[in-house]
Amino acid sequence: MVLTTGAEIEIDIQGFASSGSGVGRLDGLAVFVPGALPGERVLALITRLRGKFAEARLLSIVRESAERTQPPCPVFGRCGGCAMQQADYNFQLKLKRGFVYDTLRRIAKIDTAVSETIASPEPYHYRHRMHYHAAWVKGKLHLGFFIQRSRILVEAAACLLAAPPISSLAQVLPDMLAPFRGELVDLRGVVLRCNSSGEQMSLILLVNTPIMRGRELARQLQGAVSNLTEVWECAGAPRNGTYGGHWQLLAGQSYLSEQLCGREFRLSPAAFTQVNPAVAERLYQLVGSYAALTGAETVLDLYSGAGAIALLLAGRAAQVIGVESFEPAVADAERAAKLNGADNCRFICGAVELVLPRLAEQGVVVDVAVLDPPRAGCDAAALEALLMLQPRRIIYVSCDPATLARDLRRLAEGGYQVGAVQPLDMFPQTGHVECVVLITKL
């Protein structure tokens, strides 16, 4: 059978993709079907053909999985956020564990045990940071998310993934901003954050140009929302994120106060933080356990962000050196070190692949290295430089099993072996999975 765009097919779903789609095989092609679950037979319509794979739209379910549930969200399947609400939560955890195992075996050629996925205490209402796209429709502001591969906005201010303080504010915010429509005509989005206790909230307004009467707007918002501790404007930021652009504090303090693993942090608006605090704490505890520190070690925390891992390990090590290229995050980390009295913790602002060779030239002896790179994984030059330092233990924190597998293969070629693989469900209802991997020197 020669597949063509627009063809209807019946296919057995056997696998699971990082996008959350079900995967079947037909005539040598992998066919990705959003909404389908492993174990199901479905009728689907081919929508795209790309080399060795195809994408299809689910038309109907011929044989339904016993793990299928009714999605609670009214816009599930249209909104580009969730991909797995149709699956029982325990089944989601099982699928993610299997996906990690299969990815490591296929890409890294590593056949190692993968622990059961650590569940999120809250399968819904767990996100403490939400980036809503914004659009004015017939004079009314809509907040929501784009349909995949489109600029079509699906209104979802009441998103079920948002922590309750964020969801509550998102649902009333359009009416609060309505009197300033003239000043917010080019509003592209809003970012809402709250700390783990919900006692402090932050609002970032993403605009093309600075907001006229922005401070007046911010004062009115703070007057109406008692726990809104800061209001920011980010003008001219790129559409693919909130970094860059011109930042302006319109009202309140310039940070959110947060407690993580007993440490105090003051987080600036653009610094990266994990969106699920409960799972993040479990992740940091796992890193501490894998590090197995005695108090005599030198630890590298690479891609250190706001310094959460570095501060956690500082109390158990001789010294911790954090390396991070994003300057505001380095400032947050340095401030956290002072707040927590971590005198043995220092941070270097720079690209990991450039900083590590300098540390090697200085004769720094590294016992343990923690890697927590972005989704793209580690730069090849960074891994080469790390191998020059030869730490006895490496702990890799990953949000993408494919790039994790690629980097583990490189480390294996450099004389290291995988000791433990622990998935964590940082993002329930989506196909994403976090992993912490212990790697030891042969």
- pLDDT score of 344: 98
Count the residues in the chain. 442
Cα 80 to Cα 361: distance, rounded to the nearest angstrom:
47
C-alpha distance across the termini of the chain, in Å: 49
pLDDT band at 127 (very low <50, low <70, confident <90, very high): very high
Tokens 């401030």 correspond to what residue?
335
Summarize pLDDT for 358-376 with one digit per residue, the tens.
999 999 999 999 999 999 9
Active site residue 399: yes
The alpha carbon of 56 is separated from its chain's Cα centroid by a whole number of angstroms, namely: 26
pLDDT of 232 above 60: yes
b/e map 151-160, b = 16+ CB within 10 Å: eebbbbbebb
Kindly state the average pLDDT of the residues 165-187. Answer: 97
66 CB-contact burial (10 Å; exposed 0-12 / middle 13-18 / buried 19+):
exposed
pLDDT band at 244 (very low <50, low <70, confident <90, very high): confident
Domains recognised in the chain with CATH numbers: 8-68 (2.40.50.140), 100-120+276-441 (3.40.50.150), 129-260 (2.40.50.1070)
Cα 363 to Cα 309: distance, rounded to the nearest angstrom:
24
- Assigned token pair, 151: 């600029």
Cα 392 to Cα 299: distance, rounded to the nearest angstrom:
11
Kindly state the average pLDDT of the residues 110-120. Answer: 97
Using a pLDDT cut of 90, give the percent of the chain over it. Answer: 91
pLDDT of 271 above 90: no
Kindly state the average pLDDT of the residues 62-87. Answer: 95
- Assigned token pair, 406: 């690629």
Using a pLDDT cut of 70, give the percent of the chain over it. Answer: 99
| Phi, psi for 9 (deg, rounded to 5) | -135, 155
Could you tell me whether strands 15-16 and 187-194 are parallel, antiparallel, or unpaired per DSSP bridges?
unpaired
Cα 39 to Cα 31: distance, rounded to the nearest angstrom:
14
Contact criterion met (CB below 8 Å) for 89 and 430: no
pLDDT of 242 above 60: no
Report which of 276, 403, 416 is spatially closest to residue 18, judged by C-alpha positions.
403
159, 234, 378, 399: which is the annotated catalytic residue?
399
Residue 304 DSSP class = -
- pLDDT score of 51: 86
pLDDT of 2 above 80: no
| Helices vs. strands in the chain: H and E counts, helices first | 9, 22
Contact criterion met (CB below 8 Å) for 72 and 48: no
Average pLDDT, the chain: 95
Cα 392 to Cα 439: distance, rounded to the nearest angstrom:
9
- pLDDT score of 80: 83
* Residue type, position 427, single letter: F
Kindly state the average pLDDT of the residues 384-408. Answer: 97
- pLDDT score of 382: 96
